[in-house]
Amino acid sequence: MTDDEKEQRNPRSWLRPALGALCGAVAGFAALAFAELSSGWVRPEAGPVIAVGGAAIDRTPAAVKVWAIRNFGTDDKLVLQLGILFVLALFALILGVLALHCPRSGSAGVLLFGVVGAAAAISRPDSTGPTDALPSVVGAVVGAGLLFLLVGRLEIRGLGEPPTSGRRPTPSGRGAAEGDTSRRAGWDRRGFVLAASGAAVASAGAGALGRVLNGASGRGAVASRTDLVLPAPASPAPSVPRGAQLRIPGVSSFTTPNREFYRVDTALVVPKVDANAWRLRIHGRGVARPATLSFDDLLRRELIERDITLTCVSNEVGGPYVGNARWIGVRLADLLAECGVEPPSAGGPADQLVARSVDGMTIGSPVEDVMDGRDALLAVGMNGEPLPFAHGFPVRMVVPGLYGYVSACKWIEDIELTTFDAYDPYWVKRKWARGAPVKTQSRIDTPKPFARPRAGAVMVAGVAWAQHRGIDRVEIRVDDGPWEQARLAAEDSRDTWRQWSYPWQATKGGHTLTVRATDRTGTVQTEKRARTVPDGASGRHSVVVTVD
Ligand SMILES: Nc1nc2c(c(=O)[nH]1)N[C@H]1C(S)=C(S)[C@@H](COP(=O)(O)O)O[C@H]1N2
Ligand SMILES: [Mo]
């Protein structure tokens, strides 16, 4: 039989699978929409895409995380969610086609996805219990039922078989749904179109309502932030020295505005915590007087304001995950001392402070560092406003000199004193180091890689950081030439980054500019390259330019 003959016998061989796939797509859309609706009643984080995404993040090997952060940056979460939706869409289409042959298996397949979503939701560290399974279960049941119903509409008469008499069904013609002959000839097209479009419209409505409900669930939190007026700090930060900010185009601003501040966390949905309901518990080993504090309790304490540069351990040499902000908060060491905590050097039994967030993140810091006199903060304010939700509202930790993953717990709600031997927090379970002081680093902000400056005076400038040690010197090397002193901008504090500049007499041709910093302990930024895992990247930043 030739293809032509086949085509004649089976004039619409593609239509049936296409309609099956359409059933799958509608059922999949309905499943997600009704899951969204029910997550509006439970909590946004319990929705299947968020739950599976979160569970995937928890289980992603460190190397893949680093890769994702490097390639997608702060969009990594968006990419992950789009990836999940893509996979779901693909399976919806496949299950739709499968359902043509066996409607029960198609529906069972949809239910299986529901089980995966439910399991992911319950397994998340921030799960509030079995109700978190509800969105996935509701979505799957709606999707499975709908798929069964829709493919049923296609089964009146095998489509694709030649009509026994009368007109053939056509996908666009009117004949098919009319009268006996067309019914025998094909399928209940009118019924199918009505059911499919009705389901799609109802799902869109359910999804939209779910969105609204999910938005409303954060309303109390939003109001608590909007209404918040931070008290003036008892110990304000000294004003930034005039010379700390160079007037050189292209150099990072000394204070990073909140909306430009890098964001690194595992939260697919930014937790919205109502400050009025927020509590912080301090307990554990050697805590003679455990305490539970409200947000007001914190605000009634003496607030201090400090400029502190925060760095992520995932920052590559020359990378963007470093920012400097003016934080307001309470001194964590004082609070701990009031609870009876003593650092190991004074005989305290706990050497690790584990901070736990509302989304189940755990971050472990050395008690010794937190209590050694540095400005370790429970921060409530960032650059003159309450913490943005994405940066930890209402309260987060900030400890100068330590990478964020071992110090900067956002949305904090619990502090437990323990030991490094007894407990590994989230990132340590995933191959990152237990202790991670920030490595001395420097970055060339201008010229940009592959820039084409004109020969003559070219200003090279950037930032260097060695939090809590301070930057003592920055040097620049052109190609394989000698190290030349860069000019340092005024220092704000040893907990902040420091700008530098180097007036370069650029000659024509290709050149490599390399920077290195020396901190106040005399340590020169190593040229030894290290990956970000396990305790931060090392090596020197270079930029290649072509001088015209
Ligand atoms: N709850 C929570 N806190 C967290 C994280 C997180 O994933 N969850 N990530 C940490 C990491 S790795 C860093 S570098 C800093 C980043 O803080 P930022 O997003 O405000 O810049 O937050 C830290 N605090
Ligand atoms: Mo980080």
Report which of 48, 181, 41, 185 is spatially closest to residue 122, judged by C-alpha positions.
48
The answer as to whether 402 is a domain residue is yes
**pTM listed for this prediction:** 0.85
Q: What pLDDT sits at residue 435?
A: 96
Q: What pLDDT sits at residue 183?
A: 44
Which residues is 542 bridged to in the sheet?
514
Q: What pLDDT sits at residue 179?
A: 40
Give the separation between CA 66 and CA 60, rounded to whole angstroms.
10
Ligand with smallest separation from the Cα of 409: 1
* Domain around 495: 441-547
C-beta of residue 21 within 8 angstroms of C-beta of residue 97: yes
The residue among 430, 452, 479 that closes a domain is 430
User: Mean pLDDT lowest for which of 167-171, 191-195, 542-546?
Assistant: 167-171
Q: Where are the alpha helices (DSSP H) in 218-282?
A: 219-226
Q: What pLDDT sits at residue 517?
A: 98
The answer as to whether 246 is a domain residue is no
**Pocket, ligand 1, Cβ cutoff 6 A:** 261-266, 310, 312, 357, 359, 361, 363, 391, 404-405, 408-411
Give the separation between CA 364 and CA 480, rounded to whole angstroms.
42
Instruction: State whether 493 and 466 are in the same domain.
Output: yes
112 Cα to the center of ligand 1, angstroms: 34
Instruction: State whether 334 and 409 are in the same domain.
Output: yes
Q: What is the pLDDT of residues 9-52, one digit of tens each?
A: 555 678 889 999 999 999 999 999 999 999 988 888 899 999 99
Give the separation between CA 519 and CA 500, rounded to whole angstroms.
14
Instruction: State whether 333 and 408 are in the same domain.
Output: yes
The answer as to whether 522 is a domain residue is yes
**Mean pLDDT (whole number) for 444-465:** 97
Query: Which atom of ligand 1 sits closest to the CA of residue 266?
Result: 7
The answer as to whether 242 is a domain residue is no
Closest C-alpha to ligand 1, atom 8: 265
Q: What pLDDT sits at residue 65?
A: 77
pLDDT-based confidence at residue 269 (cuts at 50, 70, 90)? confident
Instruction: State whether 373 and 503 are in the same domain.
Output: no
Ligand with smallest separation from the Cα of 77: 1
pLDDT-based confidence at residue 165 (cuts at 50, 70, 90)? very low
**Mean pLDDT (whole number) for 279-303:** 98
- Counting residues of the chain whose pLDDT is more than 90, the rounded percentage is 78
Q: What pLDDT sits at residue 106?
A: 94
Higher pLDDT, 8 or 146: 146
Instruction: State whether 406 and 515 are in the same domain.
Output: no
The answer as to whether 421 is a domain residue is yes
238 has a pLDDT exceeding 80: yes
Structure tokens at 195: 């059911």
391 Cα to the center of ligand 1, angstroms: 8
Instruction: State whether 65 and 112 are in the same domain.
Output: yes
174 has a pLDDT exceeding 80: no
405 Cα to the center of ligand 2, angstroms: 5
Instruction: State whether 275 and 387 are in the same domain.
Output: yes
The environment of the single-atom ion ligand 2, i.e. residues with CB closer than 5 A, is 264, 312-313, 404-405
Query: Across the chain, what does the average pLDDT equal?
Result: 91
171 has a pLDDT exceeding 70: no
User: Mean pLDDT lowest for which of 31-35, 163-167, 327-331?
Assistant: 163-167
467 Cα to the center of ligand 2, angstroms: 15
Query: Which atom of ligand 1 sits closest to the CA of residue 397?
Result: 24
- CATH code (residue 366): 3.90.420.10
Q: What pLDDT sits at residue 11?
A: 56
Q: What pLDDT sits at residue 185?
A: 45
Pocket test for ligand 1, best of 410, 432, 465, 467 (most atoms within 8 A of CB): 410
446 has a pLDDT exceeding 70: yes
210 Cα to the center of ligand 2, angstroms: 32
The answer as to whether 239 is a domain residue is no
Computed on alpha carbons and rounded to an integer, the radius of gyration of the chain in Å comes to 30
Closest C-alpha to ligand 1, atom 5: 265
182 has a pLDDT exceeding 70: no
Give the separation between CA 362 and CA 487, rounded to whole angstroms.
41
147 Cα to the center of ligand 2, angstroms: 43
Closest C-alpha to ligand 1, atom 19: 263
230 Cα to the center of ligand 2, angstroms: 27
405 has a pLDDT exceeding 70: yes
Closest C-alpha to ligand 1, atom 1: 410
216 has a pLDDT exceeding 90: no
Q: What pLDDT sits at residue 156?
A: 56
280 Cα to the center of ligand 2, angstroms: 22
Q: What pLDDT sits at residue 173?
A: 39
Q: What is the pLDDT of residues 378-396, one digit of tens each?
A: 999 999 999 999 999 999 9
Instruction: State whether 348 and 462 are in the same domain.
Output: no
- Counting residues of the chain whose pLDDT is more than 70, the rounded percentage is 92
Instruction: State whether 456 and 416 are in the same domain.
Output: no
